[in-house]
Structure 1
Amino acid sequence: MLQPQIADEHDADILILFEPYRVRQTQDWITNETKTAAIWVRGAARARITARGVGDDYVWARVGAVTYVSVYLTPNCAAAEFRAKVGLLEDGLRDLPGDLVVAGDLNARAVEWGMTATNRRGRLLLEMAARLDLVVANTGDVPTYRRPGFGDSIPDVTMTTDRTLPQIGRWRVLEGYTASDHQYIAFEFSAELAAAPAPTTDVPPELTGRQRAERLADETAKLTTRLCDSTMPKRRYGRNRPPQYWWTDEIAELRKSCLAKRRRVTRAGGRPERITLQAEYKTERKRLTYAIRDSKTRCWKKLCEEVDRDPWGAGYKIVTGRLGARIPPELNGRDKRR
């Protein structure tokens, strides 16, 4: 429900999702048959998708030099079935090319990702990770699952190949209200140039003397620029972009209110006032849901009217942004979504 807006707020290009609230029927959206795992590639990153695939409990997409994997392992299965699922997952991951970033709602416990103890499911996953040369990228012990009345946990885990772990930066659990029992996780991956070729690779062997020296200097300058952009990214202005077309000040305030009321429920523990606080939280959550629904309906009607007046206006940009369509070269405007 709040997913597109949160993605815009954090400039997210690749979203790894589990049990998504809504499944999009677009080419930049990859999901499995049961709709429990999905990957949504947004903005400029869409043009860098080179391969994709689907498994029983996972989906994957290769974007640039990195293969991203979304995994969902249900908590509602017996030990033997869970072991079989992990075996199939391991076989699938073993065949994937390049550097891996595996993120999933694994519904298992392990000290390695912040839990106080490791259970049987956690041990199976850690053994799989060891065989595949994967390491856990989670940092700290901030809960990723928070459901008032059911306690906190960390079922959401990020893994990556050992040699690429140093390229995972700013891994963190986002504290904002998500309209879900799970908190979003954000991190940056900067391994695109980790295996950059030497400047001489792009210098034709037939060039000699001054020409070769000048070409080598040009290629070295290009490589230096790319490496600097990778390790010291330029300031990005995505957070100044317009919000989702249906976003309003009222929705923003209701989102803050939902977060505050949910925190009060959590802090109440087993005290008598917890029941009252939980009822207030549910009421506020419904208000937020209805506000978003009403705003989308109202804005959609307005967009339809605008399309009748101007077929290349805001309605066109929103639809082509969602469908990942190419913008005709004759137009002056560009789709700014990322």
Structure 2
Amino acid sequence: MARLHRILQANTNHCKAAQDLLVQTFAEWLVDVAVVAEPYSVPRNWLGDEDSSVALVARSSTDSPPISLIEKGPGYVAAAWGDIALIGVYFSPNRPLVDFESFLGVLAMVAGRAEQRRVLVVGDLNAKSVRDSAHLRSAGGGSIVDLAFATPSLATHVVDWRVELVETLSDHRYVRFDVSIRGSRGARTGGQSPFPRWALTRLDQEAAGEAAFVQDWLTPPVDIRGVDAAAAQLRDSLTEVCNSSMPRSHRPPPRRAVYWWSEELATLRAACVAARRKYTRSRRRRPRDLANEDRLYASYVEAKSVFKAKLAAAPDRARSEMLEDLDNDPFGRPYKAARNKLRPYGPPVAETLEPTLLDGVVQSLFPPPGTVSPLRQ
């Protein structure tokens, strides 16, 4: 079986804000793999080339095949992704043509060595075009085209290729397309089981014991004459124990935003797109109004500058808020996260108790002073 997977092609121009925005876009669009030319940095979970000039990043998902490094060199990184050999590339425009021809020869050998029969080469080779409809476009109207090559057996499975007209904080635009991959783990057909399933490998035995005690306290005496009622009661109790001690086996919906993204940033990004569209529309009018074009371009630059400044400050602000929470509630969420005690799949056991029962439990465990005589030997 096969399913469509989304690929994003980008160039961040070694800009931190552009890379931060790319990470948010990656999550928002549910991208499966991104090819990033000229990254600001190459995090540990990215696959980078030897020069840190191009990188591959994949989304961790049960319905997408894992990505694994095949080989890397100056200006290229190759990885196995399902039945596809994905090669990310970057070549500097400052190098001579003879170096470029040698680089293409190296890419041909890399593609030939891949065990996968389907090969996809994606990246920024700094090819130049005189047409004003390309991936990178300057205010003067020139363009440089980012490219993607696929073997014939794969090219027919590449669909919905398009240039995205969103703000990237780079002079490159995003390119997005879908490709089908055989053998994807999420491509199986058939209905899901109506019965609940839990991830037994993530069982918290201590939490299971606590939940079992709570269910024992809450469970009324069993009437042996009502077998069906007793079975339903046992089923409900076991379900509560499982919910409190381990997550369900189905994967939760993926996060569509990074932790520091906000509605304000989304609004500022939309304002950048609107300002740029006004400018590009004005350039297509005949006769051209150069004064109006200059005014609209200045408005776009101003909107982009405000958005970039807000985005650059967002991660630090989010971290500061987390530290404030740590100071205000040291044993709250930050502490639980650090101790790996958070269980988003079930509320704390104490929250499920009736108030009167919870009060009795607390009084039994922590009796008031003077009400209990110490044991004497």
Common fold by TM > 0.5: yes
Q: CA deviation digits over 1:192-248, x for unaligned, max 9?
A: 239xxxxxxxxxxxxxxxxxxxxxxxxxxx99x73789xxxxxx9968x45222112
Are 2:281 and 1:295 equivalent residues in the alignment?
A: no
Distance 1:252 1:146 in 2: 23
Letter paired with 2:104: V
Are 2:290 and 1:281 equivalent residues in the alignment?
A: no
TM-score normalized by the length of structure 1: 0.66
Local SS of the residue matching 1:62 = strand
Change (3 A) 1:273 1:295: same
Is this contact kept in 2: 1:29–1:38, CA < 8 A?
Answer: yes
Is this contact kept in 1: 2:42–2:55, CA < 8 A?
Answer: no
Aligned with residue 272 of structure 1, among 246, 269, 291: 291
* Aligned 1:9-48 pairs, distance under 5 A: 9-20=28-39, 22-26=40-44, 28-44=45-61, 48=66
Is this contact kept in 1: 2:47–2:56, CA < 8 A?
Answer: yes
Distance 1:106 1:143 in 2: 14
- RMSD value, Cα: 3.3
Distance 2:137 2:73 in 1: 28
Local SS of the residue matching 2:170 = coil
Tell me the residue number matched to 2:71.
53
Aligned length: 256
Is this contact kept in 1: 2:54–2:76, CA < 8 A?
Answer: yes
Local SS of the residue matching 1:15 = strand
Is this contact kept in 1: 2:84–2:120, CA < 8 A?
Answer: yes
Tell me the residue number matched to 1:260.
274
Is this contact kept in 2: 1:11–1:238, CA < 8 A?
Answer: no
Pairwise CA distance, 1:174: 1.5
Q: CA deviation digits over 1:56-80, x for unaligned, max 9?
A: 1111211222221111122222222
Local SS of the residue matching 1:169 = strand
Pairwise CA distance, 1:154: 5.2
Tell me the residue number matched to 1:199.
none
Letter paired with 2:333: D
Letter paired with 2:135: T
Of residues 86-95 and 176-185 in structure 1, the stretch that sits farther from structure 2 once superposed is 86-95
Change (3 A) 1:280 1:143: same
Is this contact kept in 2: 1:144–1:152, CA < 8 A?
Answer: no
**Ranges in structure 2 where 5+ consecutive residues have no aligned partner:** 1-19, 192-250, 346-377
Pairwise CA distance, 1:3: 0.6
Distance 1:176 1:267 in 2: 15
Distance 2:105 2:47 in 1: 22
Are 2:23 and 1:4 equivalent residues in the alignment?
A: yes
Q: CA deviation digits over 1:78-103, x for unaligned, max 9?
A: 22222222222222222222021111
Letter paired with 1:193: G
Tell me the residue number matched to 1:145.
136
Are 2:185 and 1:168 equivalent residues in the alignment?
A: no
Is this contact kept in 1: 2:78–2:87, CA < 8 A?
Answer: yes
Change (3 A) 1:61 1:306: farther
Pairwise CA distance, 1:29: 0.4
* Aligned 1:175-324 pairs, distance under 5 A: 175-193=165-183, 226=188, 241-269=255-283, 271-306=290-325, 308=330, 309-311=332-334
Distance 2:30 2:144 in 1: 24
